[in-house]
Structure 1
């Protein structure tokens, strides 16, 4: 694929993005929960709710997970947002090269205000204009099937630790129409986006999730022939694998595990305390719930208030990989979280906030030290990315792809399994198989093949 045929060079992109960041005055101020305009605490339950009854609420959740290893139960605050939003990327080919229409979008929880987002990133309340704000640009390409050809389209989950059964429609549409370029948007190639993914806190979570589902281009013969990580990655993406066997193992895992949960009043969540300013865990771990007042002139509504969930520390999201007969395989883990939509989803090898765990075993998440202590020549991807800034405040994770040492065992503990990239992409065509962290990491991994 020719790389010179681009609408926007990366140098032009960075200049444009910096100008966008400096052109609008964004203000996010932390305020006490009780002073959030348009929000109130229910006098009976303590739940944080919007005056319209729409958008989302902060409630309590009690969860119990049972499997062959025993039972664990806990209670926590959780975001309840039952509506399904749209995360969509519009694709158009220029001079033989597919380009993605991306948006520079401000979110109140972003560490740096502005990040690169999909063409459309909107909740149902947003695009139906419950807030009485301006219309969502380019929405018609994702709601009118006559406007383009879908390349990917599925309902996918969001963070099961913080949302209760939250899903969004992840969709990629290719159009042949002349698309007017609006202010705040730009065209970028898949290869360019792959390079931007290697920069900290630039490509937002919603964009990463949708990019993971892009159809794989035909691999270059020279790359496939290489005895390298890139060659093993290309062969792994092209390998048909055995998705049916993978799904069978997934179904067996799900049948052995149960998740029982019940929404409870927020003021009855044990182990958490509430002040006038926030809701936090009594040990200072996990996360807290804070309030913010926001001003952003280029958003559909220029001023608003809302609660945000603020993690207590940075997390680690990592994939261990290994080459078998020249084909790269990924170590996935079956995960059940409080808000998991369908009991079990495949996640990355490691997904945790290390500060929530003891420094020495037992109690440390499996393989955490394997990825954190890996020598630099086995670390294939390493960047810090933000999570969804519309609901989370300064939520960041270190995303890692690590190639396992030669003596790393092929036999892994129950709940883990090896899969090719091709098999993983087949799972991604359907809902509720790969969690949001695995999808984001898959986009990062696939960017390594665009070098």
Structure 2
């Protein structure tokens, strides 16, 4: 009930922002283009047997040597008349843990309510950088299973004060590719921006109207962002 009250409050703040919020997505697209001039990121397809730290187990399923992240297993389907064919076999991604997809929000006197987008490089992206939620991680990332840095903005999720949880809900990942995986979609309103200590070079604040306009631009806005803002 408390989170529902926070969601209703947040919708009211969004409504109050309509007269002052930016609408044109051009400044955000220009910011992304400038980042693309400086990033050094390259990805290419290689044979699976050349992957470092990823190996087939005794059953032929592909897993990371840590036992974390996702695996590639096989699934046999008997469709019972619900699909175009009676049944089939296919590989499918398995992952015990779900994802954590968080949009941070703030409100300023000048610009109204804004949401924090991240320009993130992924190997399968068209155009290298896609605008994704403020935090897009798994619990393996948060545990630093990859032995890299903590995901940006972890400090906000760890904060005991200065934030307000607007809503959180589990959403099923694409069932044709993932085996019974769900992601937790979250919006967190930041009441005290001093708790943000992460480097925001790869982040930008955007209004809800700008994000809706970005959704009309090819291959720029993550489907995760679209899912998170759907209840707004």
C-alpha distance in structure 1 between counterparts of 2:173 and 2:63, whole Å:
20
The residue that corresponds to 2:224 in the other structure is 206
C-alpha distance in structure 2 between counterparts of 1:118 and 1:11, whole Å:
19
The residue that corresponds to 1:409 in the other structure is none
The residue that corresponds to 1:51 in the other structure is 65
C-alpha distance in structure 1 between counterparts of 2:143 and 2:205, whole Å:
26
Q: Match of 1:108, SS?
A: coil
The residue that corresponds to 1:230 in the other structure is none
C-alpha distance in structure 1 between counterparts of 2:185 and 2:93, whole Å:
20
* TM, length-normalised to structure 2: 0.83
Q: State the 1:3 CA deviation.
A: 4.7
Decide whether aligned partners of structure 1 residues 146 and 67 sit closer, same or farther in structure 2, where only a CA change above 3 A counts: farther
Q: State the 1:160 CA deviation.
A: 0.2
* TM, length-normalised to structure 1: 0.44
Are 2:180 and 1:165 equivalent residues in the alignment?
A: yes
Q: Which has the larger radius of gyration?
A: 1
Are 2:207 and 1:183 equivalent residues in the alignment?
A: no
Q: State the 1:61 CA deviation.
A: 0.8
C-alpha distance in structure 2 between counterparts of 1:135 and 1:78, whole Å:
28
C-alpha distance in structure 1 between counterparts of 2:47 and 2:186, whole Å:
37
C-alpha distance in structure 1 between counterparts of 2:82 and 2:88, whole Å:
18
| 8 A contact 1:91–1:172 mirrored in 2 | yes
The residue that corresponds to 2:6 in the other structure is none
Q: Among 106, 117, 130, which residue is 1:115 paired with?
A: 130
The residue that corresponds to 1:62 in the other structure is 76
Q: State the 1:178 CA deviation.
A: 2.0
The residue that corresponds to 1:92 in the other structure is 106
Q: State the 1:9 CA deviation.
A: 6.3
Q: State the 1:24 CA deviation.
A: 1.0
Structure 2: tracts of 5 or more residues without a match: 1-16
What RMSD in Å do the two structures reach over aligned CA positions? 2.4
The residue that corresponds to 1:76 in the other structure is 90
Are 2:38 and 1:23 equivalent residues in the alignment?
A: yes
The residue that corresponds to 1:37 in the other structure is 52
Q: State the 1:12 CA deviation.
A: 2.7
Q: State the 1:68 CA deviation.
A: 8.7
Decide whether aligned partners of structure 1 residues 195 and 65 sit closer, same or farther in structure 2, where only a CA change above 3 A counts: same
| 8 A contact 1:49–1:57 mirrored in 2 | yes
1:413-450 Cα offsets, whole Å, 9 max, x none, are xxxxxxxxxxxxxxxxxxxxxxxxxxxxxxxxxxxxxx
Structure 1: tracts of 5 or more residues without a match: 215-451
Decide whether aligned partners of structure 1 residues 72 and 142 sit closer, same or farther in structure 2, where only a CA change above 3 A counts: farther
Q: Match of 1:23, SS?
A: coil
| 8 A contact 1:140–1:147 mirrored in 2 | no
Q: State the 1:63 CA deviation.
A: 2.1
